[in-house]
Structure 1
Amino acid sequence: MDGPSGTGKSTVARRLARECAVPYLDTGAMYRAATLAVLRAGLGPDSSARDVVLAAAQARIESGTDPAAPRILLSGEDVESEIRGAEVTGLVSAVSAHPEIRELIVGRQQELIAGAVASDGGMVVEGRDIGTVVAPDAALKVYLTASDEIRAARRGAQDRKAGRAADAATVLAAVRRRDHLDTTRTVSPLTAAADAVVLDTDHLSVDAVLDELRRLVGERGLVR
């Protein structure tokens, strides 16, 4: 399941994984953890590519796959809450754009997916390059989309619920900035796979999106 920030893919991906009784993988959290490692190394937007890549490559990142309690570990520390903060959010697209970092993390993601398929029969995976790069042979690819304004409103509500400041204009600008960075990067840009089902969530509730996902899963005979 791919799509830009604020389309609701994390929420529906976790719920779909629970309903299908399969593991869940938030690939974006792995890039956020790598970004946190870069920040903890005292690096930032103006740091050299070599230093950023080295800090991310040396980070020990472990991703949980339980949809009921998603978590991400950095050097054994649960950083699920910290990686959602503004500092990480502002830098994650730039860090994720480094080819060496993507190659390293995509390899780990593919290992997790292969293990889940072998032991659990499948996995719900969400991110920005799943259908195009990470799992191009997936039995079902879905690309969620929504307008900038709707996505910014959702992101702002999510931030406020988590106790983070969320000025509407600032959130909208951040959403558009990240969209630009994610869609224009040279390696693994955000785009819908040619065979993905594109689902506009502008006027759909979470339950309505889930209904459509259930239909697609059943249509392809993916329910065990």
Structure 2
Amino acid sequence: MSSSNPTTEPARIVIAVDGTSGSGKSSTSRGVADRLGMRFLDTGAMYRAMTWWMLSNDIDVHDADAIAAAAGKPVITSGTDPLAPTIALDGADVSVEIRSDKVNAAVSPVATVPEVRARLIALQQQEIRDALAAGSGIVVEGRDIGTAVWPQADLKLYVTADPAARAARRAAEEG
């Protein structure tokens, strides 16, 4: 992991970042993590990876029982370098695939399945424990970080933007 200020000792804290879609929370989170020499975790990418796996394995994303039964199967690995975050599924990089319209349309029903949430929250908590054990802090971006994933976060932020700015960011991401 590189940092714009490599002489700075990494903060050994957990920063939880939640917020509205298109508010800039991802780029802000990555920038803060880089600047402070911390790790970065995009929890939304984990839900998208789970969804991509379900779609790729012909699991009906509207069948909560089928999703629950399969939730423990995929191996999801998150890279935590803020300058080059990655997401791998069963050893293959799926960073591009998880941003597809197909995944966008299916991620909500998959993410609401309790077994999926439990599995991914456990993985997220392990990433946080690993970062702290390594002497590094971590900026964790996504939904429910400061309430369900790591309630004891040292700093909890909620990022928002006015609707016009959010729409412009979303259009730029899709274009």
Identify the TM-score tier after normalising by the shorter chain. 0.7 to 0.9
Q: Establish whether residue 141 from structure 1 lines up as the match of residue 159 from structure 2.
A: no
Q: Establish whether residue 20 from structure 1 lines up as the match of residue 29 from structure 2.
A: no
The residue identity in structure 2 corresponding to 1:157 is A
Q: 1:112 to 1:12 in 2, by over 3 A?
A: same
- Unaligned stretches of 5+ in structure 2? 1-16
Identity %: 47
Alignment partner, residue 8 of structure 1: 24
- Kindly tell me the number of residue pairs found equivalent between the two proteins: 159
Check whether the contact 1:35–1:56 (CA below 8 A) recurs between aligned residues.
Answer: no
Root mean square deviation of aligned Cα: 1.3
| Pairs within 5 Å for 1:111-130 | 111-130=126-145
Correspondent of 2:46 among 30, 41, 50: 30
Alignment partner, residue 56 of structure 1: 71
Alignment partner, residue 56 of structure 2: 40
Secondary structure at the residue paired with 2:18? coil
The residue identity in structure 2 corresponding to 1:39 is L
| Pairs within 5 Å for 1:113-192 | 113-160=128-175
Deviations along 1:11-46, one digit per CA (max 9) or x if unpaired, are 111111110001110011000000001101113444
The residue identity in structure 1 corresponding to 2:114 is P
Q: Report the CA distance between 1:147 and its aligned residue.
A: 3.4
Deviations along 1:94-136, one digit per CA (max 9) or x if unpaired, are 1111111101110111011011012133101100110111111
Cα separation, 2, equivalents of 1:149 and 1:56: 37
- Unaligned stretches of 5+ in structure 1? 161-224
**Which consecutive segments of 4 or more residues in structure 1 shift more than 6 A?**
none
Cα separation, 1, equivalents of 2:27 and 2:135: 21
Cα separation, 2, equivalents of 1:44 and 1:155: 27
Q: When the two structures are superposed, what TM-score results if normalisation uses the length of structure 2?
A: 0.86
Which structure exhibits the higher relative contact order, with contacts defined as CA atoms closer than 8 Å and separated by 6 or more residues? 2
Correspondent of 1:77 among 92, 102, 110: 92
Q: Which moved more, 1:143-152 or 1:114-123?
A: 143-152
The residue identity in structure 2 corresponding to 1:11 is S
Specify the structure having the higher radius of gyration (Cα): 1
Check whether the contact 2:41–2:78 (CA below 8 A) recurs between aligned residues.
Answer: yes
Alignment partner, residue 113 of structure 2: 98
Check whether the contact 2:60–2:66 (CA below 8 A) recurs between aligned residues.
Answer: no
Check whether the contact 1:22–1:120 (CA below 8 A) recurs between aligned residues.
Answer: no
Cα separation, 2, equivalents of 1:43 and 1:153: 34
The residue identity in structure 2 corresponding to 1:56 is A
Q: Report the CA distance between 1:141 and its aligned residue.
A: 0.5
Check whether the contact 1:41–1:55 (CA below 8 A) recurs between aligned residues.
Answer: no
Alignment partner, residue 125 of structure 2: 110
